[in-house]
Amino acid sequence: MIRLENDSVEQVVVMDGWMEKKETKRDTGKDMTIKVSPMESNSIFATSNTISSSQNIPEFMQHTDVDVSKVIYVGENILWLGKRRGRCISMWKRDPLENIDPFKILTTKEVDVDPNDVCLIGKNSACVGFTDGSLAVLNTEMDDLALVKRFPSVHDGCESRKVVSYEDGKVLSASTNGSLELVDIETGTSTTVFTGQSGIRSLCTTFGGQLVATVLEPITMLVPSEKALDSITALCSHPAQSNLVCFGTNYGIVGLIDVRNGKNAAVSSTYLVTEKSITQVMFHPTCSDNLLCSSTDGSILRLDASSVPMTSQTRTVKENVWLTGDLANQLRGEPIRRSSIFPISSFDCRGDSIVASSSTGFISSYEHLPFFPSSSKQVPPAPTNDPFLIPSSIDPFRNT
């Protein structure tokens, strides 16, 4: 268990063998305290040799007329959640032949409660968590959304803030009341995995079956420090390396955790990549030398570790690239989307494309990105008359 402290205490809870217990209580007397500060982190874009000089990447944008909390790929389609006024669940499809709007609206379903999060639970199924703590299972076949099952609140009326797919037709639902429930989507049975005094902010499972969550706790202990301390806002796991977890923080830091030691897991490195809060982090699902992150400053950033030298060409060594000691001097970064007035709330990656959403109400697509070694490092420039290209403004990788 790792605790990071700010005005309140943030914990990264690493649970081994968590499926063997119905409820996990935390022993705060055995926690390891780690202080994360922007001033203590590597500023990997502070020198010119780490800054990519890529051309502007075309952004194909379409307004949703509603605040968007989450977007994911569902096959070749995208599914997004609309909150507050006009709350809905909608499915769109990228239409490159359309001259007016870059997306085709396939279906939109109105809902009476704000949807918070969504995860895929199969080839043609998705699970949505709502602010009243309920869950809905949707069928996404035939370019449509059909309600399969609806489970009443699994968190005693409190929000289902995060949902994550787990093996064997199960979903993990994390709540603002500090509870973490494992729900069987076939039977609707809910099992308490974890309980706490305050809300779970982010959640992920590793390739090896470990569960990692960040929990915002009331102040119980302060460590004297002259530097600003940080709190975690996003988590993700490596798609193939079971011991590697990445986190993003409120102060624009991206860090890497080796979770092999469970509650004594260590933060191996941290990097200051932007001046605003990180909203999401994600390793590319098939080209995991690429780490993506988004921020409230409107940027989507790519960290490329493909040029980190290896002592061996074996796949095993290659997958350890993010835990190498010389990583800070070898990482390269480029903005897929530069800073703007529109904050990015979420994104998803599929092949050489990214789809992103903003809480201010738009969906954007970025295509033909250079993730794969065989692809060109230069992105074709957008036509000057492209109505969907959003001009770049502030470069988040400027020299400091």
Task: Delineate the domains of the chain, giving CATH numbers in brackets.
Answer: 2-19+32-366 (2.130.10.10)
Residue with the bigger pLDDT between 88 and 311: it is 88
Amino acid at 234: A
Nearest Cα to Cα of residue 388 among 59, 55, 78: 59
- DSSP for residue 275: S
Which residue has better confidence, 310 or 3?
A: 310
Query: Rounded to an integer, what distance in angstroms lies between the CA atom of residue 140 and that of residue 191?
Result: 27
d(CA 159, CA 180): 11
**φ, ψ for residue 174 (rounded to 5)?**
-105, 140
Q: pLDDT tens-digit profile of 322-338?
A: 877 667 777 888 899 99
Residues 383, 387, 389, 394, CA torsion sign: positive
Residue 372's pLDDT is: 72
The mean pLDDT value of the chain amounts to 76
CA torsion 336-267-246-243 (nearest 10°) is: 140
Per-residue model confidence as pLDDT tens digits over 211-256: 777 665 433 333 333 344 567 888 898 888 888 889 998 888 898 8
Q: For tokens 């932007």, name the residue.
A: 274
Q: What's the mean pLDDT in 172-196?
A: 88
Which of the four pLDDT bands, split at 50, 70 and 90, describes residue 24? very low
Highest mean pLDDT among 142-156, 198-212, 261-275: 142-156
Rounded CA-CA distance 80/65 in Å is 13
Q: Please, what's the b/e burial string for 277-294 (b: 16 or more CB within 10 A of its CB; e: otherwise)?
A: bbbbbbbbeebbbbbbbb
In contact, 290 and 253? CB cutoff 8 Å = no
